[in-house]
Amino acid sequence: MKVGVLALQGAFAAHSSVLEQLGVATTEVRLAEQLADVDALVLPGGESTTISMIAQRTGLWDPLNAFVRSGRPVLGTCAGLILLAAEVLDGRSDQTSLGALDVSVRRNAFGRQLASFEMDVPVVGLDEPFHAVCIRAPAVERLGDGVEVLAEVDGHPALVRQGAMMGAIFHPELADDPRLHELFLAG
Ligand code: GLN
């Protein structure tokens, strides 16, 4: 199994190192032909508007759209979750999302950079709580029927799963703890 990490902008390098730590073959994805070569994909945190604009400019948007609808495992964290969401509630007017994960998210719901915070949260499938690092995190404000909540922050969904897709409002790659990536890869 080879896992691709979308490497257009944002926190992709930290995801790659967690995956490498787990002994998983990992590749940075910037081109359609690199995407064609992976079995699972991580969409990192960063700036969702920037990531989507670069993907459109480089011709990666349509292949990404096809990939996230193919049933293959996809993990979207923070901006990556925004990219996966069916609806972005306060996105920029020119912002597009892939729309594969049936949730509505509000960007920067917890405020700007100053409102970033960290807390330990219980996660369905993990024995011990996970350290959730939230940086200008989006909030999940609507859950589609097929969407399961695996963790909450402050009573709001923080980690969700729909089939092989997972979305986190936090940055699991910054927790110095590979368990969330393991959970993702375990399916
Ligand atoms: N709020 C950012 C966005 O709109 C996401 C922040 C993050 O990924 N840390 O893309």
Number of structural domains in the chain: 1
Is residue 114 scored above 70 in pLDDT?
A: no
- Which segment of 47-61, 84-98, 163-177 scores lowest on mean pLDDT? 84-98
Known catalytic residues?
A: 78, 171, 173
Please determine, for residue 153, whether its predicted confidence score (pLDDT) is greater than 60: yes
Tell me, using a 6 A CB cutoff, whether residue 134 lines ligand 1. no
Most informative mutation of 135, 140, 170, 174 for ligand 1 (most atoms within 8 A of CB): 135
The pLDDT value recorded for residue 94 is 80
Q: Is 108 in the pocket of ligand 1 (CB under 6 A)?
A: yes
**Per-residue pLDDT at 115 exceeds 80:** no
pTM for this predicted structure: 0.96
CATH number of the CATH domain containing 80:
3.40.50.880
Ligand 1, residue 11: give the atom nearest the CA.
8
CA distance 1 to 183: 15
Its domain, for residue 181, covers: 2-186
Does the CB atom of residue 172 touch ligand 1 within 6 A? no
Asked if residue 78 has its Cβ within 6 Å of ligand 1, the reply is yes
Nearest-atom number in ligand 1 for the CA of 44 is 8
Strand duo 156-162 + 130-134: pairing: unpaired
Please tell me the predicted confidence (pLDDT) of residue 79. 97
